[in-house]
Amino acid sequence: MVLGALLILLLYQQLRVYRIVRESKEREELFQIVTENAADMIALVDVKGHRLYNSPAYRRILGYTAAELGETSSFEQIHPDDRFKVLEASREARATGVGRKLEYRIHHKDGTWRVLESIASTVRDQKGAVSKMVIVNRDVTERKRAEEQLEHNSFHDELTGLPNRRLFLDRLQHMFARAQRSPERQYAVLFVDLDGFKMINDTMSPKVGDQVIIEMGRRLSACLRDQDTVSRPQDRLPLKSAILSRMGGDEFTILLEGVSDPSDTMRAGRRILSAVAEPLLVDGREVRTSASVGIAMGSTSYTEADELLQDADVAMRRAKAMGGSRCEVFDEAMHTRAVNRLKLEAELREAMEKRQFRIY
């Protein structure tokens, strides 16, 4: 009777082992089926980051074979700027047993960077310690590009690619707030409006008008290029920053920081007038235009940022009312002082060239 009980116990243990082996094999087969057919990349790594398994999706998405991946650590393909946050997420998952979702960049075999959305789960050994990590990665590169493009479009003009009114007002508000805290920060707003643009649109076509706007945006950008400087005839006037935007229609605005005198902004305005006045060819036809520029200097007397923009607009309309193709500073006394200084500079330069100075 004892022998019979032992035989039954032995058969039971063998049957249990068989079931465990069969279930384990079924789980392995199921894991293999899932991972090999999954659209996402699934990886199994040890606690040191060594790759134990990479699903076939890695080759389809990143271009690497399993053998190539096996020769490197899972961190080597990660963008250097993202490695720390991936390492921290890995440590957190090992400590808590719960992974959190994160995004990071990974190197494609063709040299480009892809953006992955990743989440990790842990595998524990018989003692309850984390021994492996299962990482599921999803390629979200195209989604991120679409989001970035949407973000860009909300702050940039579709026709010229320049910052739009919304972004300009945001930058102006930041500049205004900084200047309120630090009055020594000198800045100005230039409001540029093309003269006679409606006639170009009406007589030639809106398509030609669009080409003119695109070219004027390019020319204005060129005026502020070369490390954001505005050229003097003999030297350069360094500006800390220059933000050009298209406000809509044929109106552009420029936010200048680092100006020390109204004559600096007048000089910038005259350079703009010169650039705009150059004729351009559109569909084989020569188009000529000019601009009116209004200037408002930042000061602590302003209580709202958009007041500065309104004053620059008023100065621009005064320039247009006086015949266009000219610059006007909002404050008349400031305008007179700026014009007199520029006139004095020109006369001194001419006197130097003609040797009209007599030294005692």
Note the pLDDT tens digit of each residue in 53-106. 888 888 888 888 878 887 777 778 889 999 999 888 888 888 877 778 899 999
Q: What's domain 157-353's superfamily in CATH?
A: Reverse transcriptase/Diguanylate cyclase domain (3.30.70.270)
Residue 217 has pLDDT above 90, yes or no: yes
CATH code given to domain 37-146: 3.30.450.20
The side-by-side arrangement of strands in the sheet containing 326-329 is 241-248, 251-257, 187-195, 290-297, 326-329
Residue 276 has pLDDT above 50, yes or no: yes
- DSSP secondary structure code for residue 78 in this structure: B
**Higher pLDDT among residues 184 and 308, named by residue:** 308
Stretch 37-48: mean pLDDT, rounded? 76
Cβ(220)–Cβ(192) below 8 Å: yes
3-state SS string for 177-204 = HHHHHCCCCCEEEEEEEEECHHHHHHHH
For residue 234, report the phi and psi dihedrals to the nearest 5 degrees.
-110, -25
pLDDT of residue 145: 92
Is the pTM higher than 0.75? The answer reads no
Share of residues in the chain with pLDDT > 70 (%): 82
Residue 170 has pLDDT above 90, yes or no: yes
Instruction: List beta partners, residue 81.
Output: none
pLDDT of residue 169: 93
Domain locations in the chain?
A: 37-146, 157-353
Note the pLDDT tens digit of each residue in 141-165. 999 999 988 888 899 999 999 999 9
Cβ(201)–Cβ(288) below 8 Å: no
Cβ(320)–Cβ(328) below 8 Å: no
Query: Identical fold at 37-146 and 157-353?
Result: no
214-218, 321-325, 337-341 — which is least confidently predicted?
337-341
Mean pLDDT score of the chain: 81
pLDDT of residue 38: 55
Tokens of 170: 């945001």
> 232 falls in which pLDDT band (50, 70, 90)?
very low
Share of residues in the chain with pLDDT > 90 (%): 30
Distance CA 318, CA 336 (A): 14
Distance CA 185, CA 48 (A): 52
Residue 86: how many other CB atoms lie within 10 Å: 23
Residue 177 has pLDDT above 60, yes or no: yes
Sorted by sequence, the CB contacts under 8 Å of residue 21 that are 6+ apart come out as: none
Distance CA 313, CA 22 (A): 81
